[in-house]
Amino acid sequence: MQDRFPAQERFSDGAQYIAGRLTKGTSGAVHTVIDPATGEEVLTYELAGADDVDAAVAAARAAFPGWSAATPGERSDAMHRFAAVLADRAEDLARAESLQCGKPLKLTREFDVPGTIDNTSFFAGAARHLAGQSAGEYSGDHTSYVRREPIGVVGSIAPWNYPLQMAAWKILPAIAAGNTIVLKPAELTPLTSLLFARAATEAGIPDGVVNIVTGTGRTAGEHLVGHPGVAMTSFTGSTAVGKRVAEVATATVKRLHLELGGKAPLLVFDDADLEAAANGAVAGALINTGQDCTAATRAYVQRPLYEAFVERTAALMGTVRVGDPFAPGTDLGPLVSHQQRDRVAAFVDRARGYARVVTGGEAPSGELKSGAYYLPTLIADAAQDSEVVQSEIFGPVLVVLPFDGDDEGIALANDTPYGLAASAWTRDVFRANRATREIQAGCVWINDHIPIISEMPHGGYKASGFGKDMSAYSFEEYTQVKHVMFDNTAVARKPWHRTVFGDS
């Protein structure tokens, strides 16, 4: 399957990217990347150990003085060139991402890759707009101002669901603000983070500014989070691992940014456009085969529309073409791994005991049998406190529940530990406005579900974490502010010295 993307050939020098070049990991262990569409081997690479993390942190520390002292204009120019190199490599990036994740080429070509190029252009521009508050004579005798400074070396950890976009979301704001970075992608999906880092070097971003270590969470990840040479940890992944990362980072007093799991509700009021809501629910639930932290996972539908919504949603799911990610005409690819598919299937199998599986609920047969495929699945009549309503399944599974009054709908939408994203569907402006106020989530869409843009922040409430990716808000995470105060009096004995030198 080398024609899909020649990973073995591209990464024959290794799958670590340290100080501007590919090297082999020295942990002594290897990992094999599997194509989830076929079960075939894509790349066997040497995993990073502690020594590789140390080398990457050393490279990032060495690059920090030069990169942080570059003018915003110089950083911006380099990042504009970076966006141009990425645009040149767009097809390579799309194929590598489709291969390692099982994403249809349609998705990587139209979403992951253009989104990443747009993020890069956005942060190239934003690098020149790092503003502080105004300076002033607040004490009367001094001039004060605020400097916004980079933090140092950022250690980032990313998940496997959007490897390229997660690398971009972590790396771009960090380097635009003058930091240097060591990113650890998920060991399942290292290819596009490595291609991304190489493109940075080709664009003239100095060696050591962007480093990638590909290793396991326990070995490379935890060593990076606890590393004394790292000033900040930025983590995207599950809430369970995020808690562990927070413990390790806190023990070494690091700045912490956590983007964790989600269980996004889709709230359909009885005045909604049913066809729009059903289409939105299916697209929002199935994007990236449901492996999306903001995916629509719980549809709450007001009683008068409930049965019709279940019927229409099930019918729409039946039109989605499951197939090989590289084949034209495929809408939905496999899950990222057979293990993830089995995890999703186990959730659905357990749900049969307490809810109704309306459609799907099985792996496709025939020629797709060897891949990690699972059919689009709709579950109805589950209780609010049941596992499929409360836990992140991370697969192509939508649960539909009815509600009566508006108060109840909003309360149910808020009734999970998570708070990453939500949508409300209504033609009533007051209902829409109330939903945006009362739903506890970092993003609320009205009459749509999923779109993201570089200019707007992404991040969670509650157990979905804290801090923002993308947009100018991300600079709050990746910079620190310093108060600078100048004496304007030039006198030796200042008025406030009276508190120390007697009463006169």
Residues classed as catalytic: 259, 293
3-state SS class at 161: coil
72-88 and 191-202 helices cross at what angle (nearest 10)?
120
Rank residues 270 and 392 by Cβ distance to ligand NAD and give the closer one.
Answer: 392
Shortest distance, position 195 Cβ to ligand NAD, whole Å: 17
Least Å from the CB of residue 264 to ligand NAD: 10
Closest chain position to ligand NAD (CB):
217
Closest CB 444 distance from ligand NAD, rounded Å: 15
Output 67 or 169, the one with its CB closest to ligand NAD: 169
For the bound state, the minimum distance from the C-beta of residue 484 to ligand NAD, rounded and expressed in Å, comes to 34
Q: What residue ranges bind ligand NAD (CB under 6 A)?
A: 157-161, 184, 186-187, 216-218, 221-222, 225, 236-238, 241, 244-245, 259-262, 293, 392, 394, 420, 460, 464-465
Rounded to whole angstroms, how far apart are CA atoms 37 and 333? 7
Question: How far is C-alpha 188 from the chain's CA centre?
Answer: 16
Tokens of 71: 């003018």
Amino acid, res. 2: Q
Closer by beta carbon to ligand NAD, 53 or else 113: 53
The total of other beta-carbon atoms located within 10 Å of residue 90's CB is 15
- Quick one: 35 or 392, whose CB is closer to ligand NAD? 392
37 — phi, psi (to 5°)? -80, -25
Separation in Å, CA 221 to CA 44, 117, 179, 386, 443? 19, 27, 19, 33, 28
End-to-end CA, the chain: 87
Rounded-to-integer distance, Cα 160 and Cα 186, Å = 5
Using alpha carbons only, what angle is made at residue 428 by residues 423 and 431, rounded to the nearest 5 degrees? 55
Residue 175 token pair = 């380097």
Nearer to ligand NAD among residue 15 and residue 272 (C-beta) = 15
CB of 242 to ligand NAD, least distance (A): 7
Tell which residue, 18, 19, 46, has the closest CA to residue 32: 46
Q: How far is the CB of 420 from ligand NAD (least distance, A)?
A: 5
314 and 302 in contact (C-beta within 8 Å)? no
Q: Identify which of residues 244 and 338 has a Cβ nearer to ligand NAD in the complex.
A: 244
